[in-house]
A and B are shown apart, each in its own frame.
Chain A
């Protein structure tokens, strides 16, 4: 679906954002892309969809170079940016003039999504609030039914009930034929939604792991006193939050926020542990 090899990219040659970045994304997954502000999440997504061009290396989507922006690829790819643009037409008119570009567009699904989000179809899009505009575009993106759906900070601007609706609709829209990539810096928004976590940090992907596998290999807990065998420790008001090897093999809940903090902070024990216990897919650390 997405195949990136030796990607070099930076807005300035002197300060590259990515160096020798490799990444393969497959159908049937919801990928959560995490990273600090300025780490390059949006830039990586732009490279994937063809809005930014690699300085070196290759970035292929659906078997074609993303930078070519071929209509056949674009018809099976939908990119929802963090800040959406809507024209000064009604939602119905927008759909009438745009849905035809997407061969698998599902009008019934759109009606359902708009109903769930409570977005009026006859309203002029620019007269809607920003949150409503974003919900409309999310509904349109899901209804486009493209094989690849890329969303950059989709929950920004949504109220709390809408975030829950978003998670529900997104989870229901995943099929074996689709690949969903969602970037966010609000880690909590993605918990219970994604099945694979990608962490971009320090010009590379530092984690590309299945959440189920992580749950089998790691234990996340809050303890009174950390011990010397913990892979990562973080002080909190409730005690010490720790990441430990999962000794009993019973999968628990993955604390994405703690894991993220560990990966972008100094946690050599954790990185060493994950590197020595490589799962079957690539590239984890």
Chain B
């Protein structure tokens, strides 16, 4: 039997994980449905107008990222507790199998549950709203007009970062990961500004990290940016790199985990 991956061993591990954590996940799903219903219901009935697709889309994205980041932070969080870490690490399964179980819950299962819950609740809210006034159409996830599905790609990156945080930090994983991200973003912005000013030998008005910059010369404003195509490619590379870094970093951390 392979020491890296065995389907039967993986199935056993997945089944054990589901049996032991399934109750908590169901409870979390209930909270998620309640939260979505509360937000959509509040906006629909207090907003003074139909719940238009754009608003539904914004709520979808915010909920997806916020709930997903929080949930992903819990995936490897038990490894921060010595007793639970001992039980998990001593279980006869490979690091890769243990990682994949966590990843499955953090990415495909979470996405399926969130999308299902959101559209179910959204449809219900719109149905009820339609009884009291004009009924808005349901937002479409895979639409080439709204590109709402892009948020799923953004979620992958956010989830990867919080997956890494869930195993890197031993307690308060969500707060600490969010704080670490904030610190890194601020430090990057400050360093980028300093670097750009040093390179140009002049003050600049703003310089967004890994993007463009603008500065004033006399009465003229200048803006230096990549072309949209280059910018798009650059963003894809950067986000893809971050995604891989988060996933690989979490796996490596699991193999290095000591108690």
Contacts and interface: CB of A to CB of B under 8 A. Distances in A.
A128 B82 CA distance: 20
A122 to B, nearest CB: 15
A91 to B, nearest CB: 13
B92 A51 contact: no
Nearest to B21: A87
B71 to A, nearest CB: 19
A74 interface: yes
Contact of B9 (A71, A83, A89): A71
A97 B16 contact: yes
B4 to A, nearest CB: 9
B16 A51 contact: no
Q: Which of B81, B92, B258 has the most CB of A within 10 A?
A: B92
A102 B15 contact: no
Contacts of A81: 82-83, 86
25 contacts: A49-B90, A51-B90, A51-B258, A51-B259, A53-B256, A69-B90, A71-B92, A71-B93, A71-B97, A72-B1, A74-B92, A75-B92, A77-B90, A79-B86, A81-B82, A81-B86, A84-B83, A85-B86, A85-B87, A87-B21, A97-B16, A97-B20, A98-B16, A100-B12, A102-B92
A97 B3 CA distance: 20
B90 to A, nearest CB: 5
B48 interface: no
Interface of A: 46, 49-53, 69-72, 74-75, 77-79, 81, 83-85, 87-89, 93, 97-98, 100-102
Interface in B69-125: 81-84, 86-87, 89-95, 97
B20 A74 contact: no
B82 A83 contact: yes
Given A70-B3, A83-B82, A93-B19, 8 more contacts: A53-B258, A70-B94, A81-B82, A81-B86, A83-B83, A87-B21, A101-B12, A101-B93
Nearest to B15: A97
A74 B19 contact: no
Contacts of B87: 84-85
B223 interface: no
A96 to B, nearest CB: 8
A46 B16 contact: no
B20 A87 contact: yes
A79 B92 contact: no
Contacts of A98: 16, 91
Nearest to A72: B3
B6 interface: yes
Contacts, number: 71
Binding site of B, secondary structure by majority: helix, strand, loop or mixed? helix
Interface in B10-65: 12, 15-16, 19-21, 23
Given A52-B259, A83-B82, A101-B91, A71 B3 contact: yes
B2 to A, nearest CB: 9
Contact of A69 (B9, B23, B95): B95
B1 A71 contact: yes
Contacts of A102: 92
Given A72-B1, A97-B15, A46 B91 contact: no
Contacts of B258: 46, 51-53
B92 A89 contact: no
State the 5 A-B residue pairs at the shortest beta-carbon distance, nearest first. A85-B83, A74-B92, A75-B92, A87-B20, A97-B16
Contacts of B9: 71, 101
Contacts of A46: 258-259
A88 B6 contact: no
Given A71-B9, A79-B86, A89 B20 contact: yes
A98 B12 CA distance: 8
Contacts of B23: 88
Contacts of B16: 97-98
A92 to B, nearest CB: 11
Nearest to B258: A52
A19 B30 CA distance: 53
Contacts of B20: 87-89, 97
Contacts of B83: 81, 83-85
Nearest to A42: B259
